[in-house]
Structure formats: structure tokens, C-alpha cells
Structure 1
Amino acid sequence: MAERILEVNDLHVSFDIDAGEVQAVRGVDFYLDKGETLAIVGESGSGKSVTTKALTKLFQGDVGRIKKGKINFLGEDLVEKPESELIKLRGKDISMIFQDPMTSLNPTMQIGKQVMEPLMKHRGYNKSQAKKRALEILNMVGLPNAKERFKAYPHQFSGGQRQRIVIATALACEPKVLIADEPTTALDVTMQAQILDLMKELQKKIDTSIIFITHDLGVVANIADRVAVMYGGQMVETGDVDEIFYDPQHPYTWGLLSSMPDLETGTDTELVAIPGTPPDLLHPPKGDAFAARSQYALGIDFKEAPPWFQVSPTHFVKSWLLDERSPKVQPPELVVRRQREMPNKFEHAERVERVAFNEG
């Protein structure tokens, strides 16, 4: 049985602003096992980043607060820990890669010193030890001419190289949990693929667990073991990556899959946008938060929030459509078509990844 690294129960996070209380995360539950990658997906504003920042209370100022819930990390509840203890945890046991590498790095500090910093702060390395280890890590993440460019500044590197430096900094102390918040969004497609391959390779080498935040389901297919779909500050569907792609059950997941481009299905493939906009979490809707945007909404969706329905031992869905009293509906044609097309692609992707890893 896999070792449980992290378990989050009934997490509620709010932001107090002039207009009132924004209930950004509402009753979120998830877990992370050793060595696995959990992808959290959803539109902007769904609560993905806030959920992961809550793990170490990484909020700016005093606006954000954990209103309720437990965050069990290796047997300790992080919600109860004071800031002084969380500072020791950040960058050492739980580390983060942010979206834009240029804003993640200090533009006035040499990149070598930035990788050395967590080693000296959290591991107690002296300068000589930290420099030696920093060079090892920069070489490990594939930064060209790391030794010669150790004293260079962030602006002297390309976007992909800067993201490698950010990854090196995040992995310097070999954290038990690595949170990657849209780490490839600012990169071109070719560089995205390289960074994703790098993260999978490094995950094996340092034996870390990854929480990968993204809106791109194509990225999820290539990196995740399990997927949690978020909407309106709540998780609405969770399952292993095959279940979410082959057998999605929530109308919101159907919408995300239908809006995902696929170059292999031809240029005539229609992409369907999800109508409407995400809910206003200053005034969260009653019932199912997605009901107002769903063509499959039932009367009860506007009155009562659905509970979790279990589809398989690993697949859970919050949708009244799974209630035995509900009418049976078919997923959209695009989702059905992808269900027929994806197995071969996934089989090929897994085979390629396995061969590449064994050869490396």
C-alpha cells in the first residue's frame, strides 16, 4: 500500500475584501501518496491555486484565511502550525514552482546564489557545499553551461532556461511535495514538452510527490496519475487519469474535454466552449455550482448540492445525474468520440515514456 504523504479534509478558504467574504475554496478533500502526481484542473477562478497555497498558508497579507478544515502532512496538521514553523517547511518539505519564471526569480541576484539560498537556509550548507550542490542540480535540470553561467542573472536566459532554474531552486532541498502551478503556461509548445519530460524524470530521481495545477487537459494526460476536477471552489470529480479521460461523469468534465483541441482528429473537429461564466464566490450559488451553465441540470441541482457518488474504487463524482432516480443521459458526441480515440494514444504515450525512462 502506498504511503500517504498529504491528506486534506473539508478545506474552506476565504478572502475578506471590501465587498465582503469571497469563499474561494469550499469543502475540498483530496490526498497525495508518495511518488505520485495529482493534477488539479479547472478554469481560472476555480480555486486550484488557492487550494495549494493554503497548504502552507502562502497568502499575501492578512486577506486570505483558512476558515475550516485539516491539512495532514506526515501526521501533523499544518492548519494549526504557526507562521514560524511554516517558514521552515516552505522550500524544504513543500516547495512550489510558479507560472512565470521571470517573476519567480530575483532579477538582481545571480542564478547560482538563488539555487544556493534554500540549501544554506534549510540544510545548513556552507557556501562551498551549497555551490557544489547547486551546480549538480543545475546540471541535473539540463541548464546548458551551468558552471560558466553560474554568476549570470535571470534576464540573460531564455524562458525555458529560466523555468529550469526555478525547478532547480524548488528541488534543491529534495522536497517531499512539489507544487507546480501552471509551470508551462508561459512557454511555447516545444519547451512545454521538454519541461514536462524533465519533471517526470526528476520526480523519479528525487522521489517526490507532485501536485500539478493546470487548465490544460492535454498536459494532464502526459504527466498525471490521478486527476481532481475543480469548479466554483469545489472538487466535482476525481479519479485516475484513465477514468477522467475515458469515462468522465460530470457535465463540467465533459465541457472541459469538449473544449480541448486535438491535432490528431483533424482541423474539422468542432470545439465547444462552456457557456456562461464561473459563479460569483462572494455569493456562492445554492445547490450545484455548475447548474446554471449545464444543459444537463436537473431541478434539484438548483436547490441542493450533490453528494459524492462512487463510480469505482478510485472514481468519485459530485453530480445528481448519478443518482439512481435521475434520468439517464449520454455524454456529448465529442466526449464519446474521444473515448473511442484515446485508448490507443494513451497506450502509445505510456509505452514511449517507459522506454525513454529505461533507456535513460
Structure 2
Amino acid sequence: MEKILEVKNLELSFHTFAGEVKAIRGVNFDLKKGETLAIVGESGSGKSVTTKAIMRLLPESSSEFKNGQILFNGKDLTKLSDKEMQKIRGKDISMIFQDPMTSLNPTMTIGNQIMEPILKHQKIGKAEARKVAIDLLRLVGMPKPEARIKQYPHQFSGGQRQRIVIAIALACNPQILIADEPTTALDVTIQAQILELMKDLQKKIDTSIIFITHDLGVVANVADRVAVMYGGKIVEIGTVDEIFYNPQHPYTWGLLSSMPSLDSADEKLYAIPGTPPDLLYPPKGDAFALRSDYALKIDLEEAPPFFKVSDTHSAATWLLHPDAPQVEPPLAIVERMKKFPGSRYYEGTEGGTY
């Protein structure tokens, strides 16, 4: 499948009064045409910073690209001027932000807000742009779009506002849609509707999606591949089934173990001990070592490279080194692995519930 985006060895720092925060430390991933890549991890792991770096939305006064490339259709976005990025941002790459109310202008009708990127990036008149805006509202499931196009953000519910934000992001048929925790501010029922809408839209408009979330339950329903981030690095990447049913990094084990399930209703939920590292002083070895029950001596001294698990799955953990001792993952993870062909625990029952 054709790669539309390649992030290569990306390093990015913030310059603060306290010193240099090394927020992104050698991130590598690609995005293929028509796929959904989910980037997951705790707050502070670097998910949103990575995607804002792709959009070039970080303040130039305090942020700095230290190394690496962001190749969009072969063009390095880190080298483009602001004017060149304005032609790409909103047209070829769009973003849906976390809180729809802060993304919308309360003084403008939603029709004018949807029409704005259309008029900026497409050579069409106002009347035609209005028709496109109505069609977009209809596409995202807004009832009576002809009437509602004249209304203001405060006249809509939270779920409807998120639909409007999605319509704005889709206005110019972007090649890449970045969704930064788009369902966090919504209740569970509306979350499900928005996720279903995004899956449906992807089939209709054939766009590639980068989906940022800390909620692994959301990932299972929307993603083709998953990248797990921790301490400014990607620590594991694979297909959604590989990450859910054959995870290899202790951090991924922790995230999955802390997910509630119908089977564990009466059990105490697992919580990963400790806190993420302070990236003013990045750790020398594996950033997760001090929080892990499975850390080896080498984890404190040297950062692990990526070890290949399959053609589509790799993880940065010394536990995958040929000379590493074989450890037993947590019981909840072993139960998952029993359902995955190729896992050493496989018992012949394919699939399962996330």
C-alpha cells in the first residue's frame, strides 16, 4: 500500500525557563493511503505534540525541530515556510481538535465557518461553497442542514458541534485527517456515534486518518494499526490485533491490563505505578524501566532498539533480545495471547472481544 506520510527519526524540543524539554525523541512511523493509524499513550507521552508538529502548529518561538523529517507525498514539511504550510494545512492535511466549543468561533454562523476553508483553498464562488457546506453537514449526519447552516455554535449540542468540526475538517477533501482525542469531551453514547461516523466517512471519502487517544477501547473500533507512545518515543507498533492480542512491551501490557472488561467487573482495576519521566532530564535507558516489574539491568543503562516480532509488528524492549530471560506477562495479557495465532500461548481460538 502506498505511503502518504513518513515520519523519520523526528526529534523536537521545547525551550522553557526551566531548560530544554526533549518532547519527541526519535519517532519513526508511516501512514498508508486509506488506513487509520491510532497513536496511544498516557498524557505527556508525546502524542499530540507529534501530530501538531506534522501540522506545524507549534509555536516557533519556543519549539525547535532538532532532527528528522516529516515527508508528506515526498515533501519534507519541516523545511517549508509558513506560507507554503498554509497551502497544505486545512486543504491536504486537516485536524479535528479535542473540544469542539473552543474550535468554533461563537460570533460566526457554522455555515460561514465551513465555507471559510472552501473559499480559501478552492476556486469556487460563495453560492457553490454554500451548497458544498450543506452537503458536508448532510454527510456528517446533521438534520435539516439547509436551516441549521444559518445558526451559531451555541445553538448545537456537544455531539452536533463535533459533527460540525468534522465537516470543517473534511471541507477540502484532505488526504490526511488528524483526530486529536475527538471524543474525549463527549458522553459515551455520543462518543460511539462520532466513532461510527468517522469509520463511515473514511469509506466514503477514502482519506487516511491519524487518531490520537489515551483510550484503548476506542482504538479497537477505529484503527487498522496502533502505535504505542511513551516518554516521547514509540515503543511498540503493529496491527490492531497484534497490539491487543500479542503485545510485547511491558508498557503496552500495563495499558491493556488497566482496561476494564465485562469479565473483570468484580476485580480491582490495575494501575501502572509511578509517573511518566520528566523530559527535561530524559532517562538514559528505557524510559519505562523505573515503572516496570519486568525491567532488566540493561534497561537502566541503554535504550532498547526495535525488535521485529512480525513483518507488521515491532517493539522496543530488551525482553525480545535472544539472550533475555523469558518472562511471564500478566495473567490478563496471557489470556489475550491465547487467542492470537503465532503467540506462544495460542490455544486455537481465533479473535475475541477487545
TM-score band by shorter chain is over 0.9
Q: Tell me the distance in 1 between the aligned counterparts of 2:26 and 2:228.
A: 14
Aligned partner of 2:110 in structure 1 is 111
Which region of structure 1 is more displaced relative to structure 2, 67-76 or 132-141?
67-76
Provide closer, same or farther for how the CA distance between residues 303 and 204 of structure 1 changes in structure 2, counting only shifts above 3 A: same
Q: How far off its partner does 1:347 sit?
A: 6.2
Aligned partner of 1:244 in structure 2 is 243
Q: How far off its partner does 1:79 sit?
A: 1.1
Q: How far off its partner does 1:306 sit?
A: 0.3
Q: How far off its partner does 1:56 sit?
A: 2.4
In 1, are the aligned partners of 2:339 and 2:352 still within 8 Å (CA)? no
Q: Tell me the distance in 2 between the aligned counterparts of 1:45 and 1:348.
A: 29
Q: How far off its partner does 1:348 sit?
A: 7.6
Aligned partner of 1:357 in structure 2 is none
Q: How far off its partner does 1:271 sit?
A: 1.5
Q: Tell me the distance in 1 between the aligned counterparts of 2:93 and 2:245.
A: 32
Aligned partner of 1:320 in structure 2 is 318
Q: Tell me the distance in 2 between the aligned counterparts of 1:44 and 1:150.
A: 36
Report which of the two has the higher share of helix.
1
Q: Tell me the distance in 1 between the aligned counterparts of 2:67 and 2:137.
A: 40
Q: Tell me the distance in 2 between the aligned counterparts of 1:73 and 1:183.
A: 23
Output aligned runs, 1:109-148, within 5 Å.
Answer: 109-148=108-147
Q: Deviations over 1:233-270 (max 9, x none)?
A: 000000000000000000000000000111x2152133
Q: Deviations over 1:31-52 (max 9, x none)?
A: 0000000000000000000001
- SS of 1:31's equivalent in the other structure is strand
Aligned partner of 2:290 in structure 1 is 292
Aligned partner of 2:280 in structure 1 is 282
1:71 aligned to 2:52?
no
Q: How far off its partner does 1:190 sit?
A: 0.8
Aligned partner of 1:306 in structure 2 is 304
What percentage of aligned pairs have identical amino acids?
A: 66
| TM-score when normalising by structure 2 | 0.95
Aligned partner of 1:194 in structure 2 is 193
Which region of structure 1 is more displaced relative to structure 2, 206-215 or 329-338?
329-338
The residue identity in structure 1 corresponding to 2:234 is M
Q: Tell me the distance in 1 between the aligned counterparts of 2:264 and 2:322.
A: 38
Q: How far off its partner does 1:338 sit?
A: 3.4
Aligned length: 347
Q: Deviations over 1:114-169 (max 9, x none)?
A: 00000000112211011000000000000122111111111110000000000000
Q: Tell me the distance in 2 between the aligned counterparts of 1:125 and 1:65.
A: 37
Q: How far off its partner does 1:336 sit?
A: 1.8
Output aligned runs, 1:41-60, within 5 Å.
Answer: 41-60=40-59
Q: Tell me the distance in 2 between the aligned counterparts of 1:56 and 1:195.
A: 23
Provide closer, same or farther for how the CA distance between residues 21 and 42 of structure 1 changes in structure 2, counting only shifts above 3 A: same
Aligned partner of 2:344 in structure 1 is none
Q: Tell me the distance in 2 between the aligned counterparts of 1:67 and 1:127.
A: 43
Q: How far off its partner does 1:105 sit?
A: 0.7
Which runs of no fewer than 5 residues in structure 2 stay unpaired? 342-348
Q: Tell me the distance in 1 between the aligned counterparts of 2:114 and 2:291.
A: 45
Which region of structure 1 is more displaced relative to structure 2, 35-44 or 325-334?
325-334
Aligned partner of 2:168 in structure 1 is 169
- SS of 1:163's equivalent in the other structure is helix
In 1, are the aligned partners of 2:231 and 2:276 still within 8 Å (CA)? yes
Provide closer, same or farther for how the CA distance between residues 12 and 337 of structure 1 changes in structure 2, counting only shifts above 3 A: same
Q: Deviations over 1:158-210 (max 9, x none)?
A: 00000000000000101000000000001111111110110011111111000
Q: Tell me the distance in 2 between the aligned counterparts of 1:269 and 1:123.
A: 55
Which runs of no fewer than 5 residues in structure 1 stay unpaired? 350-360
- SS of 1:235's equivalent in the other structure is strand
Q: Deviations over 1:311-344 (max 9, x none)?
A: 0001010000011111100110121233447998
Aligned partner of 1:30 in structure 2 is 29
Provide closer, same or farther for how the CA distance between residues 336 and 239 of structure 1 changes in structure 2, counting only shifts above 3 A: same
The residue identity in structure 2 corresponding to 1:313 is D
1:335 aligned to 2:307?
no
Provide closer, same or farther for how the CA distance between residues 72 and 238 of structure 1 changes in structure 2, counting only shifts above 3 A: same
Aligned partner of 1:216 in structure 2 is 215
Q: Tell me the distance in 2 between the aligned counterparts of 1:115 and 1:286.
A: 47
Q: Deviations over 1:202-227 (max 9, x none)?
A: 11111100000000101110000000
Q: How far off its partner does 1:346 sit?
A: 5.5
Which region of structure 1 is more displaced relative to structure 2, 139-148 or 29-38?
139-148
Q: How far off its partner does 1:30 sit?
A: 0.2
In 1, are the aligned partners of 2:177 and 2:208 still within 8 Å (CA)? yes
